[in-house]
A and B are shown apart, each in its own frame.
Chain A
Amino acid sequence: MAAVSTRNIVKKFGELAAVNGISLDVPNGEFMVLLGPSGCGKTTFLRIICGLEQQTSGDLLIGGDIVNDVPPRARGVAMMFQSYGLYPHFSVRHNIAFPLRTQRVPGAEINKKVAWAAQLLGIDHLLDRRPRQLSGGERQRVALARALVREPTALLLDEPLSNLDAKLRAFARQEIKQFQQRVGVTTIYVTHDQVEAMGMGDRIAVIDHGQVRQVGTPSEIYDNPADRFVAAFVGAPPMNIVARNGGYLGFRPENFLPKDMIKDAAFTEFKFRVDRSEYLGSERIVYGALEGFDPKQVITAKLPPAHVADEWIRPGEWHLFAVRNSALRHFDDDGKRRSRL
């Protein structure tokens, strides 16, 4: 059964449709990531699920019931905010206990649950501190504990890692994912960071302009993007997309290889003019243009390990590059993926 499902949710602010008909099913226990550029409506959609915003039209089901008119507190969802939204004047203990107090849970029960949540996240020793005495990572755990203490039907996370520094972020990513697997709570995670989406999501919903462009596992999204938007949004550097024969041809930079490296399969050949080369230690990225295509369009190639260190590909030179035909993706002129040619 789907823990959370939406039927054609629309949210308009005046004339602007922030959410433009999203239908999504999130099964029990799934880690669903909503991925999209900023302003695409993903946060608004999340706020509709938890009840902070009311949708203009469409139905929202949580645990199988339509909850369009149910107030936030009765929806049984918990949310963790970008800046955590901890109550600065309460101790950690009181912060975690707050959702239980509002439901008038008996005191002994509250103590038991707070202890359970604190132990689950390893913050037992912080219970008597105030939020300002905690580090970023600790605050995040407190916020998670507060969200989980009432055992919600679904846990909603709104860009929870964006306030952490890069090092801590990688660690927190793994921690949240492991934690979610252990507890098994249905999770909807909003982010604009594709690394988070790819690394954490059981499935990813790519959102743009208030609409879902594609829902699928990380590898489906990456290998078989449904349209040009998804293809260009996911992947760093993004997929190269060039116009050809009234449609578009896409190939990922790591599949765009010097021709002599491809021997075992059918391939398509390109003449590549190298303009710039970036050495990043573990990889080398080369920028240039293709002969016979728009000369202004920048094409990127991620060179294989064997070619990272030596500089036989230099700016100003022309080289023969190729892509295996199995790695080519074809799109129609309206941007939709064309069934395989």
Chain B
Amino acid sequence: MVAIADSVPKPTARFRFILDRRDVFGSLMVAPAILYVLLLVGVPLLMAVYYSLSAYTIYNPSWRFVGLSNFIDIVNNPVFRQTLYNTFIFTFGSQILGLVLGKFGALLLLRPFPGRKLVRALIILPWAVPIALATVAWEWMFDSLYSVINWTLIALGIVTRSNAPNWLGTPHLAMLCVIVVNAWRFFPFAIVIFLAGITAIPQDVLDAATIDGAGFWRRNYQIIMPMILPIVAVGLIFGFVFTFTDLSIVFLMTMGGPVGATSVLGFAGFQTGINSGDVSHGAAISLFMLPVLLVVVVAMLRFIRRREI
């Protein structure tokens, strides 16, 4: 047998195809997102936790550990309890109002009519307009002197100039105003969610319900609503989290007033921690949102899982 020298296998450069490896390339692609979350969410969160357990103020930047005393302070403070209550009212009020408006809007937009595409595009506007601009516009509509709402009510003879409502100056009305503005901002999102859900229902199911004798209401509440509930719940989680932590509308329109009637957690945390410089108490107020949101989100996610069909 003639032995022919085997050609020596040439090793491929070890790192030449490194980017073809799924684990390496995948990690590389995810790295920026992980870094971003760690640096811009993780670090501030840890800092907030530490601040809330310390006696840190901008006048006395000490890192002295004080345990849970900041939390005990704020819970004992009736103003904070009012703020917590306000936050729930603000969140639930605007979510419910937004959902109702969203459902109606979605039902209207499902029916074909001339110009529907234009309306569908325009309906997104409240969501797309910068929040500061929109809020300033609303502020003028609720203004004590220049309110177009009041002008209209006076012109219609429903109220007189002397007993016209002072929208932003009366505690309950002010809360109503911030709820309305937030619902106005939220309802295009709700419409999109409802439209997505309703159009995903197979036509056969709706036709079957019609032939089985279900009228408009029964179709809506026994067929459509239960079927889109998981999607709506996901939308609601987003809405809930964003509203619960929101401070912009309150900050721009009422500054928490009158006498704290519209103060919400995000706003109070900002006022105490940044504007007043009491960083430790501000951090404690902000961190208070965490367990509340955690409970709500976990509960809703479990609900969605159970409803999955």
Contacts and interface: CB of A to CB of B under 8 A. Distances in A.
B205 interface: yes
Contacts of B307: 89
A52 B205 contact: no
Given A87-B223, A88-B227, A73 B212 contact: yes
Given A79-B207, A83-B202, A88 B309 contact: yes
A206 B158 CA distance: 67
A132 interface: yes
Given A89-B226, A89-B309, A82 B211 contact: no
B227 A85 contact: no
Interface range, A side? 20 to 34
B207 A85 contact: yes
A85 B309 CA distance: 14
A310 B227 CA distance: 61
Contacts of A73: 210-215
A98 B204 contact: no
A135 interface: no
B121 interface: no
Contact of B214 (A47, A86, A89, A102): A102
Contacts of B209: 85, 87, 98
Given A85-B202, A85-B207, A87-B205, A99 B213 contact: yes
Given A102-B218, A130-B309, A85 B205 contact: yes
Interface string A112-153: 000000000000000000101000000000000010000000
Contacts of B223: 87
Nearest to A77: B211
A187 to B, nearest CB: 15
B204 A81 contact: yes
A162 to B, nearest CB: 12
Contacts of B118: none
A82 B215 CA distance: 22
B208 A102 contact: no
A218 interface: no
A72 B211 contact: yes
A245 interface: no
A20 B166 CA distance: 65
A79 B205 CA distance: 11
A86 B211 contact: no
A99 B309 contact: no
Contacts of B226: 89
Contacts of A83: 202, 204
Contacts of B213: 72-73, 99, 102-103
A290 interface: no
A84 B207 CA distance: 10
Interface in A74-117: 77-79, 81-89, 98-99, 102-103
A230 interface: no
B211 A78 contact: yes
Most buried by A among B206, B212, B223, B227: B212
B211 to A, nearest CB: 5
Interface in A32-89: 47, 50-52, 72-73, 77-79, 81-89
B204 to A, nearest CB: 4
A122 B212 CA distance: 22
Given A84-B204, A87-B223, A79 B309 contact: no
Most buried by B among A47, A50, A85: A85
B207 A81 contact: yes
A47 B207 CA distance: 10
A99 B309 CA distance: 21
Interface in B225-245: 226-227
Contact of B212 (A47, A84, A88, A99): A99
Given A72-B211, A85-B209, A103-B213, 19 more contacts: A47-B207, A72-B213, A73-B211, A79-B208, A81-B204, A81-B207, A81-B208, A82-B204, A85-B204, A87-B205, A87-B208, A87-B223, A88-B227, A98-B214, A99-B213, A102-B214, A102-B215, A102-B218, A130-B309
Interface of B: 202, 204-215, 218, 223, 226-227, 307, 309
The 3 closest A-B pairs by CB, nearest first: A85-B208, A102-B213, A85-B204
23 contacts: A47-B207, A50-B211, A52-B210, A52-B211, A72-B211, A73-B212, A73-B213, A73-B215, A78-B212, A79-B211, A81-B207, A83-B202, A84-B204, A85-B206, A87-B209, A87-B223, A87-B227, A88-B205, A89-B226, A99-B212, A130-B309, A132-B309, A146-B212
